[in-house]
């Protein structure tokens, strides 16, 4: 939803002074909200035109190429199309999902298409922000499998390789900085202080809402990994790729397409964001 808030911010900031809306001004405002964009086009359907002052729009279409939403987070192609939008501009808050939902007069929904290249993915994997999240996920997975939070590994140089038939390869190294004779031994232990991990996985989408990693294969320093460890790794990552987790924040999302084509991944899906009032009504119904 971040790109949607950027588009809405660029759109409604043009109105903040009560001025006339020009496509060039909207384009400029969106560009200023992004780190970088190579090409973009936006079309706003708002007939009659005065309704946009009231926070009502028929449709927004946004298409861009070479979009860097955050530093090191780039997508090759981004296409967004919304249904009708109706929000209270006096309560508009684009700083959070909760703030945006608070302003909605009706549910907000739309479709999204993304194309991400292998080079973009590897660039993102090297960014400090992504590496921190990957490190946290890795530590949780290891703690769950070995039963101890005291065992830690440093993730080094993760890389992904896109392969045919919706498969991908992952390569990274794990470094154990605190080796000593009395610490607990984990299933990943190896005489070498640095472990070279190579994984091969297949990506599948279940019921449009869960991205599953299946058919895992892998090696540690050239030796086959145990099937138990591989399945645990795959299931642990898959659990975090469940779109149902967004429903707690009032967002229903479904993935309609996930295909690996050459050196890029193509994704298409839709999302619906409920109003805060709908959430309150649902809570009251459950309590009665």
What pLDDT does 19 receive?
Answer: 43
Collect all residues with Cβ–Cβ distance below 8 Å to 181 and sequence separation of at least 6.
none
What pLDDT does 18 receive?
Answer: 44
DSSP code string of 74-125: EEEEEEEEE--EEB-GGG---SSHHHHHHHBSS-EEEEEEEEEEHHHHHHHH
Task: Give the number of other CB atoms < 10 A from CB of residue 225.
Answer: 18
Closest by CA position to 82, among listed 48, 107, 47, 99: 107
Task: Give the number of other CB atoms < 10 A from CB of residue 120.
Answer: 20
Can you give 181-244 as a three-state secondary structure string?
CCCCCCCCCCCCCEEEEEEEEEEEEECCCEEEEEEEEEEECCEECCHHHHHHHHHHHHHCCEHH
**CA dist 232 → 50, 103, 161, 181, 284 (Å):** 56, 42, 21, 26, 39
Closest by CA position to 152, among listed 188, 112, 200, 128: 188
Question: Which of 22-26, 110-114, 255-259 has the lowest average pLDDT?
Answer: 22-26
For residue range 68-115, what is the model confidence (pLDDT) as tens digits?
A: 988 888 999 999 999 998 988 888 787 788 888 998 999 999 999 999
25, pLDDT greater than 70: no
Helix or strand or coil: residue 167? strand
Highest mean pLDDT among 12-16, 27-31, 74-78, 136-140: 74-78
What pLDDT does 24 receive?
Answer: 64
Domain boundaries, the chain: 2-120+244-287, 127-243
For residue range 122-174, what is the model confidence (pLDDT) as tens digits?
A: 999 988 888 888 888 777 777 666 655 566 778 899 999 999 999 999 999 98
Helix or strand or coil: residue 260? strand
What pLDDT does 191 receive?
Answer: 45
219 and 173 Cβ atoms separated by less than 8 Å: no
Collect all residues with Cβ–Cβ distance below 8 Å to 129 and sequence separation of at least 6.
70, 72
């Amino acid at each position: 939803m971040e790109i949607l808030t950027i588009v809405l911010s660029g759109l409604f900031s043009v109105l903040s002074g009560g001025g006339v809306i020009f496509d060039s001004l909207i384009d400029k405002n969106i560009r200023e909200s992004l780190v970088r964009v190579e090409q973009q086009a936006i079309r706003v359907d708002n007939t009659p035109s005065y309704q946009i002052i009231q926070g009502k729009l028929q449709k927004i279409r946004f298409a861009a190429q070479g979009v860097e939403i955050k530093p090191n987070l780039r997508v090759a192609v981004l296409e967004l199309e919304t249904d009708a939008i109706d929000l209270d501009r006096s309560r508009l808050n684009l700083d959070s999902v909760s703030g945006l939902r608070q302003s909605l007069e009706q549910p907000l929904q739309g479709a999204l298409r993304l194309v991400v290249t292998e080079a973009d993915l590897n660039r993102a994997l090297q960014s400090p922000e992504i590496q921190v999240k990957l490190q946290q996920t890795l530590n949780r997975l290891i703690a769950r499998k070995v039963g101890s939070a005291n065992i830690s590994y440093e993730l080094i140089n993760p890389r992904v390789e896109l392969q045919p038939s919706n498969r991908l390869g992952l390569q990274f190294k794990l470094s154990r900085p605190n080796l000593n004779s009395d610490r607990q031994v984990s299933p990943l232990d190896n005489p070498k202080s640095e472990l070279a991990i190579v994984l091969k996985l297949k990506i599948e989408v279940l019921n449009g809402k869960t991205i599953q990693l299946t058919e895992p294969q892998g090696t540690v320093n050239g030796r086959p990994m145990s099937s138990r460890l591989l399945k645990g790794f795959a299931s642990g990552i898959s659990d975090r790729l469940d779109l149902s987790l967004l429903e707690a924040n009032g967002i229903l999302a479904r993935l309609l397409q996930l295909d690996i084509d050459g050196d890029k991944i193509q994704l298409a899906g839709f999302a619906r964001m409920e109003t805060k009032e709908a959430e309150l009504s649902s809570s009251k119904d459950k309590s009665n």
